[in-house]
Amino acid sequence: MLADVRAGLLNVEDGAQRELPPKYFYDHRGSLLFEQITRLPEYYLTRVERALLTARAPDLMASLRPGALVELGAGSAEKTRIILDAMRHVRLDAVYVPVDVSAAFLDETARRLRMEYVGLRVIPVVADISDHLGLPRATARMLPSPVLYAFLGSTIGNFHDDAAARLLGDVRSGMTGEDRLLLGADLVKDVAIIEAAYNDSEGVTAQFNRNMLRVLNHELGANFDVDGFAHQAFFDRKAGRIEMHLIAIRPQVVGIPGAGSLVLRAGESIRTEISNKYDRPRISKILADAGFQIAAWETDDAHQYALVVAAPA
């Protein structure tokens, strides 16, 4: 975290964008705020993805018959139940491997799932997928095949396309020809709909955004004046992505022990997240760069969101 703060906040060239990685949203409070976001009327992503999964999972599982589900960025694993329910109908020896950067929910989730799904083996892995997959190759090799890797919620959208391809390439390198990747991707659509999802009327997203500063205060002993920052989210049409920023409302001098002090003028911004919105050619390119080909492309009627099944090319 200190290295990311030094590189993204302090050692920034004149005029360059200050930036922090979105993984720092998700302490316990941030994870709860994100759960709240997924229930907001404006935040269509979770609902549309869930409906797609509910509609498609039974057929998908019947044809893939996965022996293991490795879920990247599992979070509270709510959507996982849809897949596990469908898996249980076709195989009883299944293993579930939730992988998440936040340990906050993982153990609780594992315990709950073991109780709900009698006989299900659950092997939680705490890992930062943006670093490297983090799933020990030894663990991957002992899983009953084929393995279904799931990367849902359009979390892929947090990564620039080259980084997304690298990350998926990392997943690909641990796969056999029979394994599959299930990817959830938010699609480009009417800008008003996209922007509303990141500027909800209850201000939950604003709280979620500012939570990153609380995390820095708590983890690093920094003294960000959290209420001195305004939430901003806008769609960049050309780049095809939402950007979330925190804007200093007044001048700030922030002490960050071990890193130095950050001086911000009023109006200066820190970018906290990008959230890419895709079309099929763009996803296709990322997957191809990672060594995959599209085996199935499923969208809702309004083409808001895509569930993609990718196979090793």
Q: How far is CA 141 from the centre of its chain?
A: 25
Q: Which is nearer to ligand AVJ, 45 or 87 (CB)?
A: 45
With beta carbons less than 8 A apart as the criterion, state whether 171 and 133 touch.
yes
In the complex, minimum distance from the CB of residue 63 to ligand AVJ, in angstroms, rounded to a whole number:
27
Whichever of 45 and 259 has its CB closer to ligand AVJ, that residue is 45
Q: Are 99 and 71 in contact, with CB atoms under 8 Å apart?
A: yes
The verdict on 198 binding ligand AVJ (CB under 6 A) reads: yes
Is 109 a binding residue for ligand AVJ by CB under 6 A? The answer is no
Fill in the amino acid letter for 56: R
* 100 contacts ligand AVJ (rule: CB under 6 A): no
Contact 288, 313 (CB under 8 A): yes
- Phi, then psi, of 5 in degrees rounded to 5: -70, -45
Convert residues 245-284 into a mask of x (bound to ligand AVJ by CB under 6 A) and - (unbound): ----------------------------x-x---------
**Options 9-17, 60-68, 154-162, 175-183: segment touching ligand AVJ (CB under 6 A):** 154-162
Q: Given the complex with ligand AVJ, which of 61 and 74 has the nearer CB atom?
A: 74
Give the position of tokens 């949203």: 25
Q: Minimum Å distance from CB 114 to ligand AVJ?
A: 25
CA distance 41 to 53: 19
Q: Is 46 in the site for ligand AVJ (CB under 6 A)?
A: no
Task: Label the pairing between strands 269-276 and 125-126.
Answer: unpaired
**Is residue 248 a contact partner of residue 268, using CB atoms and an 8 Å limit?**
yes
Q: Does 155 contact ligand AVJ by CB under 6 A?
A: yes
In the complex, the residues that contact ligand AVJ under the rule CB under 6 A are 37, 45, 153-155, 157-158, 198, 205, 273, 275
